[in-house]
Amino acid sequence: MSETHTEQLLSEVAALPGLPGVYRYFDAQGQLLYVGKARNLKKRVSSYFQKRHDGTRIGHMISKIVRMETTVVRSEAEALLLENNLIKTLNPKFNILFRDDKSYPYLKITGTRETFRTAGPRPVPSLAFPRMAYYRGVVDRRHSYYGPYPSAWAVKETITLLQKVFRLRTCEDTVFANRTRPCLLYQIKRCTGPCVDLIDSEAYAQDVADAERFLRGETQAVLDTLEARMMAHAEKLEFEQAAEIRNQMSALSRVLHQQAMDNVSDKDVDVLAVKVQGGRACVNLAMIRGGRHLGDRPYFPAHVEDATQIESLLAEDGAASGDPVERVAVQVLEAFIAQHYLGTAMPHTLVTSHPVGKPLLDALTEQIGAKVNAVHQPREHRRIWLEMAQKNADIALARLLSEEGSQQARTRALAEALGLPDDSLDELRIECFDISHTAGESTQASCVVFEAHKMQNAQYRRYNIDGITGGDDYAAMRQVLLRRYGKIAEALRAETEEAATPAEPTDASEPAAEGSTDATSGLPTGPRMPDLVLVDGGKGQVSMAREVFQQLGLDLSLIVGVEKGEGRKVGLEELVFADGREKVYLGHDSAALMLVAQIRDEAHRFAITGMRAQRAKVRTGGSKLEDIPGVGPKKRARLLQRFGGVRGVASASVEDLCTVDGISTELADAIYRALH
């Protein structure tokens, strides 16, 4: 491989120290290809350029390396931390990547760390009766948080359980402060009615304390406390109160009986199972919190084949041994643990389907300041947890492979039906447009993208349509197509003119200009039109699209309209072409039509949700608070949370507004005047 790289790069490799560190490879366009760690930088990096990997994807990656960056650290644990921070932030092309999902949900109990507080001149009585709620976001130290939970459903199930047993309130503070009679939850014995003083603050605080102990896994202590309280009421002949506590104990006992895996010695444990098959992998994460199994969630990494080939071909300890599938599973598991836990709170015990390396555990231990154990081949209840997680990983991966196979079949069917080249279906790109409005109000256009056999949500775009007659869908389509493809058409024309001009000879050792050509193929890497442009509509919308493409000098054969069939029935749609071809009816059971309908429906969904949000903002005056000087995002959020919306803020007095954190009397007066 060394003959394909510059002398400067090879000399940098030769000068590397034999110390632990992290290395990064870049191509001619500055794109990050790979991030790796090493106990010995010189030995590890040199192996890339000394071995031959011709004819493999790894060889292709190595041939594209034109620049290298390295960072020396003090230990292998530090190298691991830095490597995974870079992977999470930079998304290199050849590393195993786990999508960094939005934060996990928690169950929040408000105000328990500050049972009664004053805000301004008046107290806030709702804080004397803490509320439990679903929460996702930055934590506030005034409140207590339990979790994390693997899904929103798991949080809501726990809230329902606590309502049945401890009957804590779930209503917003604004609702709580304005109730004059108990709500339905009180009637069905899911709340004790603190909003109308049907329970005093001391008794309610006891229920909150019991609920928190239950969430921490102290179930037997909760039962003992409830029993003692019941006997105390009975001795005082307070049989009604004793019966209420007896019912609480019965409800809690039923819950513990239903959840067979509760009440074990383990309090906080994560269970991780890996399945590798068909070039894809799944890591299933099950969460145990407070001794309760809260559910699980599957994760599917990208670039599994590329990254595992690199690790196996360039293993520092020489030729890899053992089952290759098991080696891949270990690499996937360690990549998940590193990317998922480094930088976040985690339990001290992991139960894993495959062994985890000591350097990774040392890095986790160093991070949280306490010993982290990874238990492989567990026993008793841990074995049951792992078997469940492994079964769920198998099911999730089988479902993914089935869905991907079906989606690839649909892509191939559409390519065949429309005569598109089928030699690079993984790169087939389809963009679809739709227009949405309500009687001409808040017109929005959507553009959704289908590529690599799936919808690419991150590439979706919405366009606010202005300067047209309300309800004129043709003008709206013209505007969105011009905005979407106008600049691309200009760039393509400039690229064509540049290609027609003879280029001056350059030094072959100089890297190509960014965005000009690919380092290995020599093909242009500039702006690219999609392979297909779908518009939701028939002849009228297609005619408008044809006019735009003729104006921009683009290929008319790219445009395909999705025309409703007879009676606008699903499955009877016909495809209309801008280049003069006859209409095509694919058949109601056609895989190609299923893909077209999927993309069209997604464009419609994306357009209509954006339109509704825009319309609601206009009708409710959602932007009024934003226009008030001194009211930033945080203060606006506090106001909306306290008063339940813009209308609640508008109906509040200056004195009420002053009770919100950060709102001075002068600012409250300005808000009041702006909203009236």
Domain ranges of the chain: 2-76, 269-399, 428-498+535-612, 621-675
**Taking CA 585 as the corner, what is the angle to CA 582 and CA 587, rounded to the nearest 5 degrees?**
160
Q: How far apart are CA 622 and CA 550, in angstroms?
A: 41
Residue 477 clears pLDDT 60, i.e. is over it: yes
Tens-digit pLDDT profile for residues 24-38: 999 888 889 999 888
Among the residue ranges 123-137, 145-159, 542-556, 647-661, the one predicted with the least confidence is 123-137
The residue among 331 and 222 whose pLDDT is bigger is 331
* Residue 436 in tokens: 């949405």
Alpha helix stretches (DSSP H) within 553-628: 591-620
Mean pLDDT of 503-531: 48
Residue 460 clears pLDDT 90, i.e. is over it: yes
Using only C-alpha atoms, the chain has a radius of gyration, in whole angstroms, of: 31
Same fold, 269-399 and 428-498+535-612: yes
Residue 544 clears pLDDT 80, i.e. is over it: yes
Q: Which residues contact 445 (CB under 8 A, 6 or more apart)?
A: 433, 434, 435, 436, 462, 463, 465, 476, 477, 479, 480, 607
Q: Residue 123 — very low, low, confident or very high, per pLDDT cuts 50/70/90? A: very low
Q: Residue 550 — very low, low, confident or very high, per pLDDT cuts 50/70/90? A: very high
The residue among 272 and 675 whose pLDDT is bigger is 272
Residue indicated by tokens 């350097």: 359
Q: How far apart are CA 92 and CA 102, in angstroms?
A: 20
Res 232: pLDDT:
83
The residue among 572 and 254 whose pLDDT is bigger is 572
Helix (H, G, I), strand (E, B) or coil at 452: coil
Mean pLDDT of 39-48: 87
Q: Which residues contact 605 (CB under 8 A, 6 or more apart)?
A: none
| CATH fold for domain 269-399 | Nucleotidyltransferase; domain 5 (3.30.420)
Q: Concatenated DSSP letters for 303-344? A: SHHHHHHHHHHT-TTSS--S-HHHHHHHHHHHHHHHHHHTTS
Res 118: pLDDT:
40
* Residue 509 in tokens: 């050792």
Residue 430 clears pLDDT 90, i.e. is over it: yes
Among the residue ranges 59-63, 184-188, 275-279, 447-451, the one predicted with the least confidence is 59-63
Residue 195 DSSP one-character state: G
Give CATH for domain 2-76. Answer: 3.40.1440.10
Residue 641 clears pLDDT 80, i.e. is over it: no
Residue 101 DSSP one-character state: P
Tens-digit pLDDT profile for residues 577-609: 998 888 888 887 788 888 998 999 999 899 888
With pLDDT > 70 as the criterion, what percentage of the chain qualifies?
A: 83
According to the per-residue pLDDT averaged within each range, which of 198-212, 504-518, 642-656 is highest? 198-212
Residue 317 clears pLDDT 60, i.e. is over it: no
Residue 1: closest CA among 86, 61, 91: 61
Res 5: pLDDT:
77
Res 3: pLDDT:
60
Among the residue ranges 135-139, 264-268, 524-528, 630-634, the one predicted with the least confidence is 524-528
Res 517: pLDDT:
39
Per DSSP, what are the bridge partners of residue 517?
A: 524
With pLDDT > 90 as the criterion, what percentage of the chain qualifies?
A: 19
| CATH fold for domain 621-675 | DNA polymerase; domain 1 (1.10.150)
Long-range contacts of 648-652 (CB under 8 A, 24+ apart): 648/174, 649/625, 649/675, 650/675, 650/676
**What does pLDDT average to over the chain?**
81
Asked if 87 and 95 count as a contact pair (C-beta separation under 8 A), the reply is yes
Residue 520 clears pLDDT 50, i.e. is over it: no
**Sign of the dihedral defined by the CA atoms of residues 510, 514, 515, 519, in that order:** positive
Q: How far apart are CA 300 and CA 269, in angstroms?
A: 21
Res 119: pLDDT:
41
Res 624: pLDDT:
66
Mean pLDDT of 323-348: 85
Residue 409 clears pLDDT 60, i.e. is over it: yes
Res 521: pLDDT:
37
- Helix and strand numbers, DSSP H then E, in the chain: 21, 20
Asked if 281 and 329 count as a contact pair (C-beta separation under 8 A), the reply is yes
Asked if 562 and 600 count as a contact pair (C-beta separation under 8 A), the reply is yes
Res 313: pLDDT:
57
Does the domain spanning 428-498+535-612 belong to CATH 3.30.420.340?
yes
Residue 313: closest CA among 303, 324, 299: 324
Res 319: pLDDT:
43
Res 394: pLDDT:
92
Res 548: pLDDT:
93
Residue 333 clears pLDDT 90, i.e. is over it: yes
Mean pLDDT of 210-219: 83
Asked if 646 and 624 count as a contact pair (C-beta separation under 8 A), the reply is yes
Residue 647 clears pLDDT 60, i.e. is over it: yes
Residue 263 clears pLDDT 60, i.e. is over it: no
Residue 19 clears pLDDT 80, i.e. is over it: yes
